[in-house]
Amino acid sequence: MALQHKIFSLHQLNSNMKDTFAVFVNEFRSVFNDRGVVIIFIFASLIYPLLYSAIYKNEILVNVPIAAVDCSRSHRSAELLRHIDATQEVNIVSTFATLDEAQEAYNARKVHGVIYIPADFDKKLNTGQQATISAYCDMSSFLYYRAMMLASNYCVLDMSNQVQIERLNAQGITGEEASIISNPIPYDDTILYNGGTGFASFLMPAVLILIIHQTLFFGIGMLAGTSREENRFHVLVNSKLNNGGTYRIIIGKGACYFFIYLAWSFYILGFIPHIFNLPHIGNPIDLLFFLIPFLLATIFFSMTVSVFQPNRETGMILFLFFSLILLFLSGISWPRSNIPGIWQAFGWLFPATNGIQGYVKINTLGADLHHIPFEYISLWIQTGIYFLTTTWAYHWQMNKSRKKAEKKEMEQMELVPNA
């Protein structure tokens, strides 16, 4: 009896594996027979990372055109403007006699900022008073503002230090003593993980993870929408599967998506950062172990939602709606600690939020898996929860299809005697 039971178990296991593999192969064929899904899974995953990385390839904003209004017309004011113009951040393209003239150029979008030096600038410096200059910045883009403020602040601080030393020299304090008094607390700023302060190095790691999340979500949704439109969901379910069939379907379909996107992940998260010189200091092994729960959580999340998508177009609407929201909720563009609690809780529903945080910490900050326990464990928890929700949703869908088939069969049987 024990031997027969063992043989039966091995036979059942072999049958289950064959059924799972059949679902895997069938789903693989469905992916590559659907042109829309091929565009999302293949071409979008290939082109989007290249396109976005190429757009931000220059990393930093340089030579922002600005205007200058020098009412002082002195040696010091000319020196200050010359130093500002020499910075890489801005480029003084026009000099005006009045602020009104500069405003006209600003309103015409010929310049993105104005440096105004008042007429008493040099006089106040020579008499030991505090002089002021005004910087009018274009806040329609924070990058314009950043470039303007960096250039003007550094140059003003440097000139202030020189003026302070000159005043100390006039009092008989010279040399190193004057330097120490004028700059009693020197500082050395060290920029970590993004030495060039590049915009792409800050933004693109989050975008790359979001590309994986969104294309997976959209592609799985399109497959489910097509199945519902063509009323062939039951065809994807092998009629030979009985007890435990739901798990075999989910594992077979999930394995198909997993292996496709595991390969794409090496391209998107490994190849793209290298060719565009994005941050890539993470350990590849840690990154691989982190990707496993991220891909699984994203797949099961997408499979759960896809059951309730009535058609292919629904996925497109959800895809566009959630793209920007997930980028904001990830805590990249705005600190997660400053996001209201209700929105933080909403963000935890999506694998992309923890995926972005974990990937940035590994690949940009050089963290190991034991440095990111929250993100790593959260993704495994999401994997388990969404596997259960997928199981429930598919089981519900299968029962619904079975009841409709039984009802139709009974109706046909009732028609036979009447005929």
1 assigned to some structural domain? no
Q: Is residue 238 domain-shared with residue 376, that is, in the same domain?
A: yes
pLDDT score at 269: 92
**With contact defined as beta carbons under 8 Å apart, do 249 and 332 qualify?**
no
Q: Is residue 157 domain-shared with residue 258, that is, in the same domain?
A: no
Total structural domains in the chain? 2
For residue 219, how many C-alpha atoms fall within 13 Å in the half-sphere facing its CB?
Answer: 33
Q: Is the pLDDT of residue 258 over 90?
A: yes
pLDDT digits (tens, 9 = 90+) for 336-360: 888 888 988 888 899 999 999 999 9
What is the mean pLDDT of the segment spanning 77-106?
A: 92
Q: What is the CATH number of the domain that holds 168?
A: 3.40.190
**With contact defined as beta carbons under 8 Å apart, do 52 and 207 qualify?**
yes
Q: Is the pLDDT of residue 1 over 80?
A: no
3-state SS of 182-230 is HCCCCCCCCCCCCCCCCHHHHHHHHHHHHHHHHHHHHHHHHHHHHHHHC
Query: d(Cα 333, Cα 350) in Å, to the nearest integer?
Result: 17
Last residue of a domain, one of 182, 216, 240: 182
Closest CA to 311 of 393, 396, 230, 400: 230
380 assigned to some structural domain? yes
Q: Is the pLDDT of residue 80 over 90?
A: yes
Percentage of the chain modeled with pLDDT above 90: 38
Query: d(Cα 102, Cα 114) in Å, to the nearest integer?
Result: 7
312 assigned to some structural domain? yes
For residue 312, how many C-alpha atoms fall within 13 Å in the half-sphere facing its CB?
Answer: 13
7 assigned to some structural domain? no
Q: Is residue 178 domain-shared with residue 279, that is, in the same domain?
A: no
pLDDT digits (tens, 9 = 90+) for 207-228: 999 999 999 998 898 888 777 7
Dihedral of CA atoms 240, 246, 252, 256 in degrees, nearest 10, equals 130
Q: Is residue 218 domain-shared with residue 362, that is, in the same domain?
A: yes
DSSP string, 264-309: HHHIIIIIHHHHTT----S-HHHHHHHHHHHHHHHHHHHHHHHTT-
Q: Is the pLDDT of residue 237 over 50?
A: no
Q: Is the pLDDT of residue 47 over 80?
A: yes
107 assigned to some structural domain? yes
User: Ranked by mean pLDDT, which of 37-41, 63-67, 309-313, 314-318 comes out on top?
Assistant: 63-67
Q: Is residue 400 domain-shared with residue 348, that is, in the same domain?
A: yes
Q: Is residue 157 domain-shared with residue 225, that is, in the same domain?
A: no
9 assigned to some structural domain? no
Q: Is residue 76 domain-shared with residue 129, that is, in the same domain?
A: yes
259 assigned to some structural domain? yes
For strands 134-137 and 113-117, give the pairing: antiparallel
Residue 142 lies in domain = 64-182
